Amino acid sequence: MKATLLLEDGTVFEGESIGAPGTTIGEVVFATAMTGYQEMLTDPSFAGQLLTLTYPLVGNYGVNPEDVESSKIQVEGFIVRELCETPSNWRMSISLRDYLAHNGIVSMQGVDTRALTRHLRVRGVMMGAMSTELTTTELKAELDKAPNYGEINFVERVSTKVAYEWVGDECSKLPHIFSSTEGDGNGKELKRHVALVDMGIKRNIARCLAREGCRVTVLPHNVTADDVLAVKPDGVVFSPGPGDPKMLTSGVETMRNLIGRLPIMGICLGHQMLGLALGGDTFKLKFGHRGANHPVKNLLTGKVSITAQNHGYAVDPDRLSGDVEVERINLNDGTVEGLRHRFLPIFSIQYHPEASAGPLDEGYLFKEFVASLADN
């Protein structure tokens, strides 16, 4: 079945459908990781986006129940150069093609993804429409009616609606055959209680905290500071998530009201929210950072780490409070990758220390956060 991708600037890419039939609209972005397509597909930070993978052959190891990062596929659409039709891996349950089709995701192959990526790097990420059923003229009409990515509060869509205790992967809620569970902290005694504010969490964040011996309470994105304090946590983590951080005024206010009352860790979107809470600003990157190969330098130690990233916005440090310092920067473009409060147990990182799709250089940060809880 033929599939067509139309970008908002009129550029057209044609290919073959590898998912569900239909039409979908979203911001067209690209990610540079060589592996980890399953983690990326189920990452809530990709909500509202048509994800393009730059690696030319995708789907080699199929899909398995252990690597999903949320309850469903989160991307609006999926674009690859070539889908592997003969996947093979001992952990595989179904093929990527079947996974996309069963979850109703409009997807396509046969696209020159290098050309598409170069186009987005030059022109910047933009809205696009992908369809197996509409002409380019009809697609343009649909695209003209659609809101821009930055105008939608995607966090409201992906965050939990009710608070819950982390007890496993909750894979029984998935719309396919997957089912698995994990113990809290792998048998460790639960010594600390962490509130995890769900702006669009990946499950591995909760897993990492549990493995450090923490009881984890997941809270909706719209909680107040009093709501957080009511569950009596030893510290709070603000998770990654999709969209423009400037739309999250209530979440930023909650974080601001918790400063000085609890240790705080912000990850990705949580990092951007901390920047806003501490007087800074944020801005949209031309084409974002998405992939598993981004070098980040710790300005305090000189250490360089290779990190997994997925974000389209960055912190502008010019108006930050004097109580906070920039601790990490991206060596590709110099953008802020980490903040640390000079006097309080508060820090944030722009990348994903929990990511399974790439390097694990920064996994120690969860240990560092949990250690700060013991000191308070």
The full set of domain ranges for the chain reads 2-151, 154-374
Residue 271 in this model has a pLDDT that exceeds 70? yes
Mean pLDDT, residues 203-220 taken together = 94
Q: Give yes or no for a contact between 240 and 201, defined as CB atoms under 8 angstroms apart.
A: yes
Confidence of residue 361 (pLDDT cuts 50, 70, 90): confident
Mean pLDDT, residues 91-101 taken together = 97
Q: What is the pLDDT of residue 356?
A: 60
Lowest-pLDDT range, 81-85, 93-97, 271-275, 370-374?
A: 370-374
Q: Which residues are CB-contacts of 53 (< 8 A; sequence separation ≥ 6)?
A: 30, 31, 33, 37, 40, 78, 79, 80, 81, 113
Confidence of residue 376 (pLDDT cuts 50, 70, 90): low
Task: Give the other-Cβ count within 10 Å of 338's Cβ.
Answer: 25
Confidence of residue 179 (pLDDT cuts 50, 70, 90): very low
Give the tens place of pLDDT for each residue, 226-248: 999 999 999 999 999 999 999 99
% pLDDT > 70, the chain: 92
Residue 352 designated active-site = yes
Q: Which residue has the tokens 């984890």?
A: 216
Residue 174 in this model has a pLDDT that exceeds 80? no
Q: What is the pLDDT of residue 186?
A: 45
Q: Which of 271, 294, 352, 362 is catalytic?
A: 352
The secondary structure element, H or E, covering residue 45 is: none
Per CATH, 2-151 and 154-374 having the same topology is answered no
CATH of domain 2-151: 3.50.30.20
Q: What is the pLDDT of residue 190?
A: 64
Confidence of residue 167 (pLDDT cuts 50, 70, 90): confident
Q: What is the pLDDT of residue 177?
A: 26
Q: Which of 76, 268, 294, 337 is catalytic?
A: 268
Q: What is the pLDDT of residue 189?
A: 60
Q: What is the pLDDT of residue 312?
A: 97
Q: Which two tokens stand for residue 17?
A: 């459908």
Task: Give the other-Cβ count within 10 Å of 164's Cβ.
Answer: 14
Note the pTM of the prediction, 2 decimals: 0.92
Q: What is the pLDDT of residue 215?
A: 94
Residue range 154-374 forms a domain whose CATH class is alpha beta
Strand partners for 165: 217
